Amino acid sequence: MEQSAFSNPSERQQAICSLLQEQGYLTVSELALRFEVSEMTIRRDLKSLASNGLIQREHGGAGYPSNTHQVDDLFFNRLGEAEKEKTTIGNLAAALIQPGESIILDAGTTTLAVAKAIKPKELVVITNSVPISTILTGQAGISVLLTGGEVRESTYALVGPLARSSLSNFYADKLFLGASGISISRGLSTSNLLESEIKQAMIQSAKEVILVAHSHKFSEVCYHTFAGWDSIHTLITDEDIPASIYEELCQRGLRILIAPLS
């Protein structure tokens, strides 16, 4: 029964999300029949989608939130990329957050893993990520401040002058920052200038800057560099970081925390 055209969980979950957007609400049994998988598989899919703030779980099925836009292929595919690494990094990063702190969470799938790992506590979270705000809103003790700005469909990040302006009014204890490319010589980079500007504004608004990135990102360089290594206080990555890069960053005085994959 599980050998359907949507045997890949990421592809199936993307299709479920699109279908719910079209029809609004479907039961677990309807989805299981549609995708030719078991109801248990559908429940796991719905749990994963709901944890990422993409759908609303309801009794016996799921609905598509009226205030949530369709996540496009690029962002959805990135949710499943290096999932194990992102989860372990997210858990380690969240453990650094102390009650009473204010933090900034950058938009991205690794910072989304940080948000999912945060336990209820007295905390102020500032973010430009629509999915992160959805996940954290309503958790006990957590106040969520969402920057204004224009929504980028590929990442669901808020960007532009309004987002930059709102960040200039904040000062946070910690920033959890993501990057598309990481290089010893070129620093941190991204492929979108608007998001690059927001990342720079976040760095200016935080006391401590913590880069969260899985090891696959190292030695990748995108066209726009938004920060050098002198802007970063701590790196949290997984144990597959190349030894040469680890040693070089240690020599530069960077604090490096390794999230175990086992």
SS3 85: helix
Q: Looking at residues 81-106, what average pLDDT do you find? A: 93
SS3 210: strand
Structure tokens given for 17: 């999300």
Cβ atoms of residues 240 and 261 within 8 Å = yes
Share of the chain above pLDDT 70, in %: 90
Q: What whole-number distance in Å separates Cα of residue 45 and Cα of residue 62?
A: 11
pLDDT over threshold 90, residue 60 = no
- What is the model's pTM? 0.73
Q: Looking at residues 196-212, what average pLDDT do you find? A: 97
Q: So what's the pLDDT on residue 1? A: 40
Q: What is the pLDDT of residues 229-238, one digit of tens each?
A: 999 999 999 9
Q: What is the pLDDT of residues 7-46, one digit of tens each?
A: 778 788 888 887 887 777 888 888 988 888 999 999 888 8
Question: Which class in CATH covers the domain with range 76-259?
Answer: alpha beta
pLDDT over threshold 60, residue 77 = no
pLDDT over threshold 50, residue 74 = no
Order across the sheet with 25-27: list the strands: 25-27, 61-63, 56-58
pLDDT over threshold 70, residue 213 = yes
DSSP string, 189-204: EES-HHHHHHHHHHHH
Q: Looking at residues 156-177, what average pLDDT do you find? A: 94
Low-confidence winner among 22-36, 48-62, 94-108, 120-134 (lowest mean pLDDT): 48-62
Question: Which class in CATH covers the domain with range 9-68?
Answer: mainly alpha
Strands (E), 34-191: 56-58, 61-63, 102-105, 123-127, 142-146, 150-151, 158-159, 172-177, 181-183, 187-190
Q: So what's the pLDDT on residue 5? A: 61
Name the residue ranges covered by the structural domains of the chain: 9-68, 76-259
Q: What is the pLDDT of residues 239-261, one digit of tens each?
A: 999 999 999 999 999 999 999 88
